[in-house]
Structure 1
């Protein structure tokens, strides 16, 4: 039971950490690209929002799996 709770904490925590690092890199590259070629800024921003949506979907799947483990698997172990 304790290992399942640690797994849930790691799944949510590392998913959030990975997403935060991904958003930081994505935002930095957007600013870098916009500074180099300002005329491409609207196109880059549109692509950035598309990738940000996809990047945000990965930890949401992880949260769903973690909630499944927490509320379905762990009560079954008790």
Structure 2
């Protein structure tokens, strides 16, 4: 196999692992945040507005991490700067 073939295979494998790991942890964090919010709502129902507002802001921040992972993986797959270096070598 040529160097480009190996590079493409390793880039694809690293992209798949990056998506798997990069999406797993934000998903676990979202589940924990929702679980804690429901627990705190059960303890203090009068603080519902404050808890829900904080929950939605936190979920948006967690989701942005997953989106950043997706963008980086797409860059690795479709516009990898190291591939140009390998071709021009």
Task: Give the structure, 1 or 2, with the largest relative contact order (CA under 8 Å, sep 6 or more).
Answer: 1
**Once structures 1 and 2 are overlaid, which stretch shifts more, 50-59 or 67-76?**
67-76
Over the aligned positions, Cα root-mean-square deviation in angstroms equals 1.6
Structure 1 residue ranges without an equivalent (≥5): none
Deviations 1:7-64 (A, max 9, x none): 1011111121112101110010001100111111111000000000000001111111
The residue aligned with 2:51 is 44
Say which of 12, 16, 35 aligns to 1:9.
Answer: 16
Structure with the greater alpha carbon radius of gyration: 2
Write out the 4+ residue segments of structure 1 that deviate beyond 3 Å after TM superposition: 74-78
Structure 2 residue ranges without an equivalent (≥5): 1-6
TM normalised by structure 2 equals 0.79
TM-fit CA distance, 1:75:
5.7
TM-fit CA distance, 1:72:
1.2
The alignment partner of 1:53 has SS state of helix
- In the aligned structure 2, how far is the partner of 1:61 from the partner of 1:16? 10
The residue aligned with 1:25 is 32
